[in-house]
Structure 1
């Protein structure tokens, strides 16, 4: 690694004006200063771009003419960036002053490194995650048990809210799947990276704080109740299904997809029973999207399977046998689904 490599910090924004000052000030306060900020705005209407122009004039600003979503907007930012390393940072996050220096140092300590994540904290300082594993159906399970180690090596993927990677490697893997819009793009990219034998770790000395839900309502726990919405369910289910089709070996794919659809059908029936048919429709729409886009998914699958260097079995240590959805029901009950 170069002694002082150039880092491109990519911040995607859609009507996130209320978060930007805290996010940008924390970046400006870094003890590592060889970086650029690439601000990718998805047609915000809240004055976000004007605020950045006025207060952070050295920022590279990309104006999209419509909301392209998290995945495509990040890819655009990467294409316009000049850094050797990329730090994809959510607009509703802020970083400790040594974060970038710590992330860079990881590459001198771990060989064959693909992606590095941060210790992600909630605004109140509690642990949000130290990296993430998945269950057998592809749903995320955050590692939130405090670690005394500098690195957490048993991580399947790291959250897209703070995603550090060499630009050359990101580009070689064609970045995020732009069809996803948002959700599971980080799982998918890390899965593809892992299948080619790269390591994914969290550097627990690199800390960020993350609000969560800055771009879409839901995904949060309020008053010990999990809150989500129908659009979030639709994007999560369709993208998770596509990710499994692309990345699993055939012998595992058929079984896991079957189990996933059985769970989906049960959820549909439940929401119809409690008179929430619009929520049930989100699952149906996710299946229909995957059917309509199956050709593109299978083309991507062919390329991924052709270049994989490890088997599904090699990844078992990163995968929980538990089913996340059942765990959530046991611990915090049936989710509250909003209409916002």
Structure 2
């Protein structure tokens, strides 16, 4: 068994592989590098095999998104290659840096309760700024809105060393996710119904309910392009984000008697947010939010079963940020993580 497996999920990402895979290999510290291809229609597989023979290629039969793709790939790595003690899942549009692996591995090896960890995620384009997908570690407020150290909604902080510490967070980003392999397989991996977006937050929430921890490592930094597979301004991304947020919340919200009240409030706030798309003439995004809500209703029977099963397995309580980050950001003007209540 390897100590670490570096696993890149790819879908029609030949250009990103050409740009970033050499750097991953240069800073792999001798650990095996895998490219798991989700039935790409470009020449990604042939390109990797011809130019990077040291990379282990896993060819998946179809594209099942981030969640299903990684579930299959990591299962194959365990069954066909002997597995690894830890996985790291850098997106194909991640530029790694020297020494990106060692501090995160050392942190996780020193604390067996850490199931997931992330480095600092900075923008590839604006290299001094934190990037949207995870920044320096994520949190969830009492209504299920996600935010990060270094990024709240559309405010991106410059990295001035303010988050160079190692500390527990609520969720670690899927853009460059380190995981303890036995915990990943113990939990059944990601929820494949998510397809893409928020599956890592759902998984981090679930592992904390089992008593594990999620951390961010400020000693490691990578750079993220963002939108490598699905562009940011895309109605399908809007659909997945709104739908999966409701999936995650229904499955994991604490049994405090206010579940449906919070769900109703979230649905109302989703409706208000759709007015912003409407104002900008983005009708497809408005329709995406409507479809996301109906998809949530359609999945309720399955979600009810998942919620019950997770409650039976739960061994630890998980604390959400006990305020509304939406209210604090838009009404109180608190744009920085340091301005929020500790």
CA positional deviation for 1:143: 0.9
- Tell me the SS of whatever aligns to 1:153: strand
Alignment match, 1:112: 113
CA distance in 1, matches of 2:328, 2:304: 27
TM-score (norm 2): 0.84
CA positional deviation for 1:267: 3.4
CA positional deviation for 1:111: 4.7
- Tell me the SS of whatever aligns to 2:178: strand
Q: Of the candidates 322, 334, 340, which is equivalent to residue 325 of structure 2?
A: 322
- Label 1:264 to 1:86 Cα distance change in 2 as closer, same or farther (>3 A): same
- Describe the superposition over 1:154-189 as per-residue Cα deviations: whole angstroms up to 9, x where unpaired: 411011011111111001111111011100001100
CA distance in 2, matches of 1:231, 1:308: 33
What does 1:130-279 align with in structure 2 at a 5 Å threshold? 130-144=136-150, 146-147=160-161, 151-218=165-232, 228-250=233-255, 251-268=257-274, 271-272=277-278, 276-279=282-285
- Describe the superposition over 1:112-159 as per-residue Cα deviations: whole angstroms up to 9, x where unpaired: 111111111111322221111123332321211654575432411011
CA distance in 2, matches of 1:93, 1:200: 21
Which sits farther off after the overlay, 150-159 or 191-200?
150-159
Question: Contact 1:137–1:323 at 8 Å: present in 2 too?
Answer: no
CA positional deviation for 1:21: 2.7
The question of 1:24 aligning with 2:21 is answered yes
Q: Which runs of 5 or more structure 1 residues have no equivalent in the other structure? A: 219-227, 333-340
Question: Contact 1:119–1:208 at 8 Å: present in 2 too?
Answer: yes
Q: Of the candidates 16, 31, 35, which is equivalent to residue 39 of structure 1?
A: 35
CA distance in 2, matches of 1:198, 1:99: 23
Give the count of matched residue pairs.
Answer: 316
CA distance in 2, matches of 1:175, 1:286: 23
- Label 1:16 to 1:58 Cα distance change in 2 as closer, same or farther (>3 A): same
Which sits farther off after the overlay, 184-193 or 52-61?
52-61
What does 1:9-20 align with in structure 2 at a 5 Å threshold? 9-20=6-17
Question: Contact 2:166–2:219 at 8 Å: present in 1 too?
Answer: no
- Describe the superposition over 1:270-292 as per-residue Cα deviations: whole angstroms up to 9, x where unpaired: 55566544322111211121222
Aligned-residue CA RMSD in angstroms? 2.6
CA distance in 1, matches of 2:276, 2:326: 18
- Label 1:253 to 1:158 Cα distance change in 2 as closer, same or farther (>3 A): same
What does 1:280-319 align with in structure 2 at a 5 Å threshold? 280-311=286-317, 314-316=318-320, 318=321
Q: Which runs of 5 or more structure 2 residues have no equivalent in the other structure? A: 78-82, 151-156, 336-342
- Describe the superposition over 1:18-76 as per-residue Cα deviations: whole angstroms up to 9, x where unpaired: 1113322122122621x222211122222111110011112222223332111111111
